[in-house]
Structure 1
Amino acid sequence: MVLDEYRQVYIGATSESAGIAKRIRQHWTGQKQFDRLLAGSVETSVLSIDSFRALDTTRIFAMMTTQYFAEENLLLQQFPPKFAVNRGMGGRGVERFAVLRDVGAIDS
């Protein structure tokens, strides 16, 4: 998802069963709790993609793959961090960590 006015990009992945349209709508309609708006210090925090809405998103690019998390981090590395609203690692690493920590849902 590209947020041209803010010079930001968000890179995410979803499974075929969840679908890209549903995942994007979740970001557009999701609301962060006030205490989750900052991740880290005020000076270094990255604003969550859930803080933006449909009209903030100017372009959406999609890539079909059979391994839907395999390319996410590689693609994210193509952008300087100051232009990405991704807050951390994505994909299978997050899923494995969530299982180890017994977290029910993964919130990006």
Structure 2
Amino acid sequence: MISIIALFWALCVVCVINMARYFSSLRALLVVLRGCDPLLYQYVDGAGFFTSRGQPGKQVRLVRYIWLQRYRDHHDEEFIRRCERVRGQFILTSALCGLVLVSLVALLIWH
């Protein structure tokens, strides 16, 4: 019989792997953005995005930009494709993190 605890930890590992994929795709998106739209790159604090001096307000701008699909009118096809990928991975990672939290609460109640 499969252990519920083992399933929970497997779900946690899958969630962490997807978070790593999401951040990797986001980093690749910023590299493409730097080349195709320097003004937008500065607007979302592309140079300081993954540093400790990064500005969370500007980082939220990029998340909002992608979430509201404002990239659809952009001139660069590569950038649009990367944004679609990041958006899909964000939705998947958010759903997995929610599932981990629900599973954790269920485990706490069950045990």
- Alignment TM-score, normalising by the size of structure 2: 0.30
Q: Which has the greater radius of gyration?
A: 2
